[in-house]
């Protein structure tokens, strides 16, 4: 099996067997192609002839050209998945990457918005302008439901169960989950669907999508990023935020409020509760940061005011 045919088979496996998103598949394939290009430059290489030494040299090369530790770890994960596929196909009997450990990664806590900052962003939206109600609904749903941006752009009108107070979300690997949504958030969405959205010439195949662009088609992930960035600038927020920041804020505020970690895990759609546990650390560090930076006499028996 040569690299080209192995990569083609791996791509089909990721799509059909793993049901991965197009973006994830593209990233995995690009990682394997990097390895194939590196080893093929100096030898007649095939996937089943790769040695641990060559794999180590490839990872060293990634470091030399300035690829960061986090990206190196992601590439190594993709390569290990590739060799797991080859083992399943009986193309190899053992992975040369099996004993290779990724670089040590510092735990990086995500950026979180205060409730006041979220309110400030929403306050900058001019509801008299086209797409004003849409943009407000986007921010409201991102924060109120803790959605990933891909989940948001694929959200359907038929996913909303207003009377029951929940939204059906299609997450990673097409896994469905149910997320509660507050009456106020539903009201904001309906203000959009009853106003801005009704003025659009909705194209065929897009009538059930909640968030549409001016051409009557589903809004793109890039457009959501741009909307969030612009609203942050308008509100004078200098944090490097993205749509995912609202997901982090959603989870952090729930944990701060004493929500059960298992419930938060289910609402976020995390496969492992270890991922959700990040927000317990974030909660502690966030509170300490707030006290140290906004309560100068912290540590000197100063009163702590809850927020």
According to the model, what pLDDT value does residue 299 have? 46
Which run of H or of E encompasses 124? none
SS3 state at 21: coil
Considering the domain architecture, whether residues 79 and 141 belong to the same structural domain is answered as: no
Token reading at 298: 């912290």
Is 215 among the residues known to form the active site?
A: no
Dihedral sign, CA of 62, 64, 100, 97? positive
pLDDT the model gives residue 106 = 59
Q: Which candidate in 133, 134, 248, 270 is catalytic?
A: 270
Query: Domain count of the chain?
Result: 2
Quick check: 111 and 248 in contact, CB under 8 A?
yes
Closest CA to 157 of 189, 200, 182, 203: 189
CB distance 73 to 105 below 8 Å: yes
Domain presence at residue 170: yes
Quote the domain boundaries for residue 66: 3-88
Task: Point out the catalytic residue in the list 136, 197, 247, 248.
Answer: 247
Task: Determine the Cα–Cα distance for residues 217 and 225; give it in Å rounded to an integer.
Answer: 17
Q: What pLDDT, on the 0 to 100 scale, is given for residue 292?
A: 56
CA pair distance 72, 103, nearest whole angstrom = 7
Is position 245 within any domain? yes
231: its two tokens: 């609203």
Q: 66 in a domain, yes or no?
A: yes
Instruction: Say if residue 151 is in the same domain as residue 219.
Output: yes
Query: 148 catalytic, yes or no?
Result: yes
Inter-residue contact 127 to 194 (CB < 8 Å):
no
Query: Is 97 contained in some domain?
Result: no
Residue 204 sits in the same domain as residue 72: no
Residue 124 lies in a domain: yes
pLDDT band for position 304 (50/70/90)?
Answer: very low
Q: Are residues 190 and 56 in the same domain?
A: no
Q: Is-catalytic flag, 46?
A: no
Catalytic residue among 148, 197, 248, 253: 148
Query: Phi-psi category of 205—alpha, beta or left, where left has phi over 0 and alpha has psi -120 to 50?
Result: left
Q: Examine the residue annotation and report whether 244 is marked as an active-site residue of this protein.
A: yes
Other CB atoms within 10 Å distance of the CB of residue 94 = 10
Largest CA distance in the chain: 70
- Is residue 33 domain-shared with residue 135, that is, in the same domain? no
CATH number at residue 188: 1.10.443.10
Q: Which two tokens stand for residue 130?
A: 């086209």
Lowest mean pLDDT, pick from 27-41, 258-272, 292-306: 292-306
At 266, the pLDDT band (50, 70, 90 cuts) reads confident
Judge whether 277 lies within some domain.
Answer: yes
Half-sphere exposure of 246 (CA within 13 A, CB side): 25
Same domain, 168 and 215: yes
- For residue 108, is it within any domain? no
Residues contacting residue 133 through CB under 8 Å, at least 6 positions apart:
127, 188, 191, 192, 195, 196
- What is the CATH classification number for the domain harbouring 54? 1.10.150.130
Are 148 and 280 contained in the same domain? yes
103 pLDDT higher than 80:
no
**Do both 142 and 49 map to the same domain?**
no
In this prediction, residue 301 carries a pLDDT of: 42
**Contact 150/222 with Cβ under 8 angstroms?**
no
- pTM summary value: 0.60
- The answer on 76 and 135 residing in a single domain is no
**pLDDT greater than 90 at residue 156:** yes
d(CA 121, CA 104): 36
Domain match, 137 and 198 both:
yes
> Which of 46, 80, 244, 286 is an active site residue?
244
Average of per-residue pLDDT values in the chain: 85
The residue from 18, 172, 177, 203 that is catalytic is 172
Residues 139 and 223 in one domain: yes
Q: Are 161 and 168 in contact (CB under 8 A)?
A: yes
Residue 176 lies in a domain: yes
User: Residues 81-105: what's their mean pLDDT?
Assistant: 86
Q: 251 with 149, same domain?
A: yes
Residue 112 to residue 286: CA distance in whole angstroms: 9
CB-based contacts of 108, cutoff 8 Å, min separation 6 = none
To 5 degrees, how large is the angle CA 34–CA 37–CA 38? 85
**Structure token digits, residue 138:** 């986007």
């Amino acid at each position: 099996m040569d690299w080209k045919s192995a990569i083609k088979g791996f791509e089909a496996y990721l799509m059909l067997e793993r049901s991965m998103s197009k973006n994830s598949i593209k990233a995995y394939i690009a990682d394997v192609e990097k390895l194939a290009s590196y080893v093929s430059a100096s030898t007649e290489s095939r996937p089943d002839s790769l040695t641990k030494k060559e794999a180590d040299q490839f990872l060293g090369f990634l470091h030399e050209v300035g690829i960061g530790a986090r990206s190196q770890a992601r590439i190594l994960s993709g390569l290990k998945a590739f060799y797991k596929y080859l083992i399943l196909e009986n193309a190899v009997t053992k992975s040369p990457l099996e004993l290779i450990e990724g670089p040590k990664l510092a735990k990086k806590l995500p950026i979180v918005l205060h409730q006041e900052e979220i309110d400030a962003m929403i306050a900058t939206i001019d509801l008299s302008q086209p797409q004003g109600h849409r943009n407000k609904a986007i921010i409201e749903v991102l924060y109120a439901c803790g959605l990933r941006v891909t989940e948001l752009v694929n959200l359907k009108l038929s996913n909303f169960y207003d009377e029951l107070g929940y939204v059906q979300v299609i997450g990673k690997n097409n896994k469905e989950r149910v997320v509660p949504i507050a009456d106020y958030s539903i009201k904001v969405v309906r203000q959009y669907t009853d106003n801005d959205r009704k003025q659009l010439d909705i194209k065929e195949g897009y009538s059930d999508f909640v968030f549409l662009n001016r051409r009557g088609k589903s809004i793109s992930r890039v457009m959501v990023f741009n909307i969030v960035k612009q609203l942050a600038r308008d509100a004078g927020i200098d944090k490097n935020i993205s749509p995912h920041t609202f997901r982090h804020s959603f989870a952090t505020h729930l944990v701060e409020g004493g929500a059960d970690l298992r419930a938060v895990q289910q609402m976020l759609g995390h496969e492992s509760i270890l991922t959700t546990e990040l927000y317990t650390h974030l909660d502690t560090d966030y509170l300490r940061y707030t006290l140290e930076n906004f309560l100068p006499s912290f540590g000197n028996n100063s009163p702590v005011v809850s927020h």
